[in-house]
């Protein structure tokens, strides 16, 4: 037996064929022919007997004669179609039975018909093809069932994955929100600490409470007028808050005298404070940019400043901005000429210095910032601490009578802060005057 014959025999083994004919010799011939090819062959002498066999034994193919008494092949195969629809149906018919054959094709949905007398090779070929077709159809149905099960499993898996992805996305969103909240609180704490520290610097210099905060706010507004990038605006504001940090090491005597009233040695010590300010901040990476501006905020546009005599564009823009904001606020406290100036006089003082002490472009932006502030007055209310409510926003720095900065402008009040403010102060301070606006 060659490989092809062996393969065919393997595929045909176990397949059951039912042959139905009222002539015993035909049944015997079909039995011998089909058994020789490995099929299991059952026989029935008529339609009724054939139906009994089908009821008791599953069959893969039914081969029936057309002309039989009591029930012809067409009616028999029509019943087989109803009772065993999975069985392939083949009709043996003579040339004279053409009309009946057509009826059988239509009513019984037979696979093929074979003319009598038949050729053995034709019978075997038709049976083999019919059973192979049935096998392929069964395999197709099996694969479709597998695909349906797999599709159902995939749908379930996808639904599960989508649910898990949503859960994970929600977890990540919650974690991100928590991180952003922590970052926001850290940033707020950082800025509050810087503001408090700048207040301590003001106290050390004997400046009016909140002066550094006002310098920082004005410097920030000038920077915005000049379209300075956001990250650099932050450095400008921080430099405005901490510009005097290098003076903390100076004696009270040096701090209270104008620079032009000092001797050469004392003058040299004071002129080093911008460098000392940068050095004090060098360990804090977040303040390195501000430190560079603090180092140069006492330089002059004409090159006659200190500590390095830089001039023009060689002076960092942020330092040129802080210089104008600082001198405007200092002039109102008497720092520039020893006599406190009004805001109008301080403004004129800055204008007189453009082109030699100050960068003209910065002075122009300074004027625009002041104009913008005057054009958009803040709707504020003056309240006592007892009248405050949570959510109100400070429109001015909150400063005590002796110049101590309690809270900076734009701070949002909460119940804890309000309670502290209501408890604050010595009897001779009187009620705090708090300027606020609604959120």
Of 99, 117, 138, the one marking the end of a domain is 138
Of 109, 138, 167, the one marking the end of a domain is 138
CATH number at residue 409: 3.90.105
- Cα 214 to Cα 367: distance, rounded to the nearest angstrom: 16
133 belongs to a structural domain:
yes
Same domain, 367 and 220: yes
Same domain, 93 and 23: yes
Q: The sheet that has 40-44: what strands, in order across it?
A: 40-44, 16-20, 61-65, 88-93, 112-115
Higher pLDDT, 96 or 151: 151
Distance of CA 120 to the CA centre of its chain: 74
pLDDT, tens digit (0-9, with 9 covering 90-100), for 252-281: 777 777 777 777 887 888 888 899 889 988
Q: What would the mean pLDDT of 143-151 be, rounded to a whole number?
A: 91
Same domain, 74 and 210: no
- Cα 69 to Cα 47: distance, rounded to the nearest angstrom: 9
Same domain, 362 and 398: no
Q: Supply the pLDDT for residue 195.
A: 64
Same domain, 124 and 65: yes
Burial of 308 (0-12, 13-18, 19+ CB in 10 A): middle
- Cα 94 to Cα 180: distance, rounded to the nearest angstrom: 90
Higher pLDDT, 200 or 67: 67
**What is the DSSP pairing of strand 434-437 with strand 381-383?**
antiparallel
Same domain, 271 and 383: no
Burial of 271 (0-12, 13-18, 19+ CB in 10 A): middle
Q: What would the mean pLDDT of 35-58 be, rounded to a whole number?
A: 94
pLDDT, tens digit (0-9, with 9 covering 90-100), for 391-433: 888 887 776 665 566 776 777 888 888 888 887 654 444 567 7
Q: Does a cis peptide bond (omega within 30 degrees of 0) precede residue 160?
A: no
Give the pLDDT band (50/70/90) at residue 132: very high
Q: What's the CA angle centered on 52, arms 51 and 53, to 5 degrees?
A: 90
Same domain, 219 and 108: no
- How many separate domains does the chain show? 3
221 belongs to a structural domain:
yes
Q: Which domain holds residue 368?
A: 206-376
Same domain, 362 and 437: no
Same domain, 325 and 339: yes
H or E element: which one contains 179?
helix 120-205
Q: What would the mean pLDDT of 327-354 be, rounded to a whole number?
A: 85
Tell me the H-state helices in 282-355. 288-296, 317-331, 343-352
């Amino acid at each position: 037996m060659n490989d092809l014959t062996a393969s065919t025999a393997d595929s045909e083994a176990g397949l059951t064929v039912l042959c139905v004919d009222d002539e015993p010799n035909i049944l015997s011939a079909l039995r011998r022919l089909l058994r020789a090819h490995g099929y299991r062959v059952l026989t029935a002498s008529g339609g009724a007997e054939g139906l009994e066999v089908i009821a008791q034994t599953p069959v893969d193919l039914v081969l029936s004669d057309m002309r039989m008494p009591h029930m012809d092949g067409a009616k028999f195969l029509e019943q087989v179609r109803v009772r065993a629809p999975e069985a392939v149906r083949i009709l043996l018919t003579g040339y004279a039975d053409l009309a009946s054959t057509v009826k059988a094709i239509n009513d019984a949905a037979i696979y093929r018909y074979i003319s009598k007398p038949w050729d053995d090779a034709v019978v075997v070929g038709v049976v083999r093809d019919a059973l192979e077709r049935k096998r392929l159809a069964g395999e197709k149905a099996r694969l479709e069932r597998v695909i349906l099960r797999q599709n159902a499993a995939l749908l379930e898996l996808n639904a599960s994955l989508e649910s898990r992805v949503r859960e994970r996305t929600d977890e990540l969103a919650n974690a991100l929100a928590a991180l952003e909240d922590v970052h926001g609180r850290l940033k707020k704490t950082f800025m509050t600490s810087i503001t408090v520290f700048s207040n301590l610097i003001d106290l050390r210099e004997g400046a009016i409470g909140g002066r550094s905060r006002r310098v920082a706010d004005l410097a920030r507004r000038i920077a915005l007028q000049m379209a300075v990038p956001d990250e650099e605006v932050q450095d400008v504001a921080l430099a405005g808050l901490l510009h005097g940090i290098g003076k903390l090491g100076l004696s009270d005597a040096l701090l209270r005298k104008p620079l032009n009233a000092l001797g050469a040695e004392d003058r040299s010590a004071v002129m080093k404070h911008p460098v000392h300010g940068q050095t004090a901040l060098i360990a804090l990476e977040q303040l390195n940019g501000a430190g560079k501006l603090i180092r140069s905020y006492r330089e002059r546009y004409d090159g006659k400043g200190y500590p390095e005599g830089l001039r023009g564009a060689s002076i960092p823009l942020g330092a040129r901005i802080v210089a104008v904001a600082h001198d405007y606020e200092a002039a109102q406290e008497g720092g520039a000429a020893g006599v406190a100036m009004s805001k109008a006089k301080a403004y004129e003082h800055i204008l007189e210095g453009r082109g030699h002490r100050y960068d003209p472009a910065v002075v122009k932006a300074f004027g625009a910032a002041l104009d913008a502030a005057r054009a958009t007055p803040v709707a504020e209310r003056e309240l006592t601490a007892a009248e405050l409510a949570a959510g109100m926003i400070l429109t001015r720095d909150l400063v005590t009578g002796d110049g101590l900065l309690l809270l900076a402008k734009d701070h949002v009040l909460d119940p804890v802060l309000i309670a502290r403010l209501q408890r604050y102060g010595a009897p001779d301070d009187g009620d705090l005057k708090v300027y606020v606006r609604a959120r």
